[in-house]
């Protein structure tokens, strides 16, 4: 079972989908994973939904959206137009949101000399891979 920081019992999840996803992470990932929920990224004030780290597999930044199929009215690379209780609104594409969080995290981590390649063609780059993703817990395969 993975370690979730903070522990599920002490978290106030913004959505039910985030809680369900955190429970899945805790139950399904092996012990050597670390998972952070709503961790602050430096002085920028950014808070990605989940950051998952494995020593060999690297860092994954995930955004969780509790949208249903009928919630999404339009989507493009930069924005989504969604239907909410307040009416129709435009929001940033969650993949772009996760990408901006990941780039901020990578910049912070690259400041630590122990986490970057010291020489060669990858000099200054992180010694582990990183990626982004979006979790849509209310969308089914159908």
What are the beta bridge partners of residue 50? 37, 62
Q: Which helix (H) or strand (E) holds 104?
A: helix 94-110
Q: What is the distance of C-alpha 135 from the center of its chain? A: 9
Token couple for 5: 């920081």
Residue 45 CA to residue 60 CA, distance in Å, equals 19
pLDDT attached to residue 96:
97
Percent of all residues in the chain with a pLDDT value above 90, rounded to a whole number: 83
User: Taking a C-beta distance cutoff of 8 angstroms, is the pair 50, 28 a contact?
Assistant: no
pLDDT tens for 10-42 read 888 888 999 999 999 999 999 999 999 999 998
Residue 141 CA to residue 85 CA, distance in Å, equals 25
DSSP-derived 3-state class of residue 5? strand
Residue 1: pLDDT over 80: no
What's the rounded mean pLDDT across residues 53-67? Answer: 96
Residue 107 CA to residue 63 CA, distance in Å, equals 19
Could you tell me the pTM of the whole model? Answer: 0.92
pLDDT attached to residue 107:
95
pLDDT attached to residue 37:
95
pLDDT tens for 107-127 read 999 999 999 999 999 999 999
pLDDT attached to residue 22:
94
pLDDT attached to residue 39:
92
pLDDT attached to residue 12:
86
């Amino acid at each position: 079972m993975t370690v979730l920081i903070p522990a599920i019992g002490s978290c106030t999840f913004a959505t039910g989908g985030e809680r369900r996803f955190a429970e899945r992470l805790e139950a399904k990932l092996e012990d050597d994973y670390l998972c952070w929920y709503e961790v602050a990224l430096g002085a920028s004030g950014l808070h990605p939904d989940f950051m998952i780290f494995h020593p060999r597999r690297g860092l994954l930044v995930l955004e969780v959206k509790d949208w249903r199929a009928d919630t999404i009215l339009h989507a493009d690379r930069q924005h989504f137009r969604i239907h909410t209780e307040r009416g129709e609104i435009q929001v940033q594409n969650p993949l772009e949101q996760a990408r901006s969080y990941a780039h901020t995290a990578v910049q912070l981590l690259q400041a630590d000399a122990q986490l970057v390649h010291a020489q060669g063609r990858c000099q200054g780059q992180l010694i582990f891979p990183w990626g982004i993703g979006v979790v849509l817990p209310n969308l089914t395969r159908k």
